[in-house]
Amino acid sequence: MQRVNIASQLLVHVCFLVLGINVSITKGVSPDMQNRFSLLYFEANYTVAEQACHALGFDGLAILSNPEEYNYVHKLSTVIREDLNRGMWLALKYDDMLARPMWDDGTVPAPDMPWKGNAINKPCGRFQRAGFVGMLPCDKLRYAVCGNHHGKTLDEAEGSINWTAAPTNVTSSLIESRVESYLQCALLCGSENLCRAAHFNQITMSCKILGPGSFSDFQSDPDSTTFVRRSFKESDVPL
Ligand SMILES: *[C@@H]1O[C@H](CO)[C@@H](O)[C@H](O)[C@H]1NC(C)=O
Ligand SMILES: *[C@@H]1O[C@H](CO)[C@@H](O)[C@H](O)[C@H]1NC(C)=O
Ligand SMILES: *[C@@H]1O[C@H](CO)[C@@H](O)[C@H](O)[C@H]1NC(C)=O
């Protein structure tokens, strides 16, 4: 009985999956993102949603490791969040040993990801309709975001170039490397989920990849060019 039930939900969903992809093409997103994420347009508990993602050929529920992935899913899910007024399961589970939510691939959620602070020790994670991530009991019924987890490195981070500017009050850097150009430094930012700024100094030809909270602002510096990554989208609906 149970199987039949799930299968019929999946049949309904496959039609929506195709629609979902068409919608994202019109938004002009990279093909990479389109193949990686898809929405489940029915309510289910965490376990059933995860099984449905597997049945559709995805690695599981979605992991949002960086601002580009988060912002893509934020945009893709606008109808579910704002019109249908529903949240969506993500591949996020509370780890009792580590006493923190963790993504299914064993990585820690980015510290600057918009989070709804309360009740983070509930077992299952979802994207809320207000655009935050938060935890819930796994038996609740929600829509879901499926994702592919393998081979998922971005080629490029989204952001802006700040010419002749350097980050101020830098406390640490994730990567320090000699590079041949500013471009190489900016590309290095795209290969690191936690990169929030990439500081290139053209005198020393050095590139510093800075993580969330490791610098406070920017100041004028004629020898520097800094790539400033676009941040996680702020919530657009009040709590
Ligand atoms: C999820 O739903 C399925 C099907 O209704 C049920 O068998 C299962 O016990 C539920 N799991 C949780 C954690 O609620
Ligand atoms: C940066 O550091 C300077 C001096 O070290 C301090 O005066 C300033 O307030 C800091 N800026 C910020 C935004 O924290
Ligand atoms: C660029 O750097 C200047 C300082 O040179 C700073 O005032 C400005 O806020 C920076 N812009 C961005 C987008 O970070």
The structure's pTM equals 0.83
- Ligand 3 midpoint to CA 182 (Å): 17
C-alpha to C-alpha distance for 48 and 138, rounded to whole angstroms: 10
Q: Where are the domains of the chain?
A: 10-147, 159-229
Which residues, given as ranges, of the chain have pLDDT below 50? 1-29, 236-239
Residue 167: nearest ligand to its CA?
3
Question: What's the pLDDT score for residue 120?
Answer: 75
Q: Which CATH number applies to 10-147: 3.10.129.10, 3.20.130.10, 3.10.100.10, 3.40.50.970? A: 3.10.100.10
Q: Which protein residue has the closest C-alpha to ligand 2 atom 13?
A: 216
Question: What's the pLDDT score for residue 21?
Answer: 35
Assess whether the C-beta atom of 139 lies below 6 angstroms from ligand 1.
Answer: yes
pLDDT digits (tens, 9 = 90+) for 137-162: 999 999 999 999 876 556 678 999 99
Structure tokens at 8: 């019929």
Pocket test for ligand 3, best of 217, 220, 227, 228 (most atoms within 8 A of CB): 217
Question: What's the pLDDT score for residue 121?
Answer: 82
Architecture of domain 159-229: 3-Layer(bba) Sandwich (3.50)
Domains 10-147 and 159-229 share a fold: no
Assess whether the C-beta atom of 168 lies below 6 angstroms from ligand 2.
Answer: yes
Assess whether the C-beta atom of 48 lies below 6 angstroms from ligand 1.
Answer: yes
Assess whether the C-beta atom of 138 lies below 6 angstroms from ligand 1.
Answer: yes
Structure tokens at 64: 């949002």
Q: What is the SS3 string spanning the chain?
A: CHHHHHHHHHHHHHHHHHHHHHHHHHCCCCHHHHHHEEEEEEEECHHHHHHHHHHCCCCEECCCCCHHHHHHHHHHCHHHHHHCCCCEEEEEEEECCCCEEEECCCCCCCCCCCECCCCCCCCEEEECCCCCEEEECCCCCEEEEEECCCCCCCCCCCEEEEEEEEEECCCCCCEEEECCCHHHHHHHHHCCCCCCEEEEECCCCEEEEECCCCCCEEEEEEEEEEEEECCCCCCCCCC
Question: What's the pLDDT score for residue 235?
Answer: 52
- Ligand 2 midpoint to CA 216 (Å): 8
Assess whether the C-beta atom of 216 lies below 6 angstroms from ligand 2.
Answer: yes
